[in-house]
Structure formats: C-alpha cells, structure tokens
C-alpha cells in the first residue's frame, strides 16, 4: 500500500462526526470557503446529505464544469462509501483514465475518478453524505476538504497531510 493511500485511509477513519445536521454542514462549508479565500483558490464546494444539498458555494475562477465535477465525485462517494482520492489511488488512475469502467456500470457522465469528494461519516450511522470540492488539482481538492474537516472536528492534521506535490 502506498504511503498516500495509507494516509487517506487514516483520514477517513479519523474524520468522523458525532452528529451532523444543517448547522454542521454550514460550518464545514464555511471553513472550506475561508481556507480557499485565504489562499486565493477558485473552487466550488458542496456539502450534501444523500437526499439534499445543505451547503453550496462557488468562488471566482470556477465554471459550470466544476459543478458537474462535484456532482460526479459525490456520486462516487455515495456508491462506494469512500473518498474519491482513495478510489484514484486504489485504481491507479492516471490523467487520461478517469472512468470507473464499463464492468462497474458507472458511466463517465455520472461518475468520475478524481480527488475532492469525501464521505460525511457519523459515528454509529455510517456514511450519510459527502463534502466535495472542485477547481484545483485533485490532491489539493482532497486536502482542502480534509483541512476543513480537521478545523470543524477540532482534529490536529498530524499524520493526515498528503505531500503537496504528488
């Protein structure tokens, strides 16, 4: 197992909510927005339960394409119950290989292997939704989500940070 994959699995294990509601969704989305603004990152962010979106924002520099990337990444989290960057690492997806494959009946129009989608997991309930970012390189999309989760959950980033360049 690669070091990056081990780190992502540890992120998923540790970044778990005790409870999650509309207020928690807003806090998470606002934390991600604040980080993105401070670092001048043009991203889209959505926080959603499976039945509805609870938070959405788009910063300057994003396009309608980012909206579609968010939707397709969230679909991957919902279907597989793990982060999209973990899926990228597990499948060894390169820049030109973003489809899950016909054998998985997951069309590229609805599912994409690209980092930035992360499961919202609640202790005792499992995965109930996703937080998704799109707009910067995928490992940075992923880490923006992780940094927002760490801030909201008051969890130190020690052992949860991926290398800046992969």
Residue spans per domain, the chain: 3-153
Paired sense of beta strands 44-49 and 117-122, if any: unpaired
Average pLDDT of span 81-105: 80
Fold of 3-153: Beta-Lactamase (3.30.450)
Q: What is the pLDDT of residues 6-35, one digit of tens each?
A: 999 999 999 999 999 999 999 999 999 999
Q: What is the pLDDT of residues 145-163, one digit of tens each?
A: 999 999 999 999 998 998 7
CA 18, 136, 31: angle at the middle one, nearest 5? 35
Distance in angstroms (rounded) separating the CA atoms of residues 112 and 140: 17
- Is the pTM above the cut of 0.75? yes
Using a pLDDT cut of 70, give the percent of the chain over it: 93
CA distances from 147 to 65, 66, 103, 109, 163 (A): 24, 20, 34, 29, 13
């Amino acid at each position: 197992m690669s070091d990056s994959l081990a780190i992502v699995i540890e992120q998923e294990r540790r970044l778990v909510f005790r409870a999650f509601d509309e207020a928690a969704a807003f806090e998470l989305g606002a934390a991600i927005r604040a980080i993105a603004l401070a670092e001048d990152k043009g991203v889209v962010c959505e926080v959603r339960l499976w039945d509805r979106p609870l938070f959405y924002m788009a910063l300057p520099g994003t396009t309608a394409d980012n909206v579609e990337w968010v939707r397709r990444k969230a679909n991957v989290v919902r279907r597989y119950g793990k982060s999209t960057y973990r899926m990228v690492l597990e499948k060894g997806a390169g820049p030109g290989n973003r489809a899950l494959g016909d054998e998985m009946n997951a069309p590229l129009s609805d599912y994409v292997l690209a980092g930035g989608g992360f499961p919202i997991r609640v202790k005792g309930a499992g995965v109930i939704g996703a937080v998704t970012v799109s707009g910067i390189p995928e490992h940075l999309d992923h880490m923006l989500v992780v940094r927002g989760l760490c801030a909201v959950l008051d969890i130190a980033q020690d052992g949860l940070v991926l290398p800046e360049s992969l």
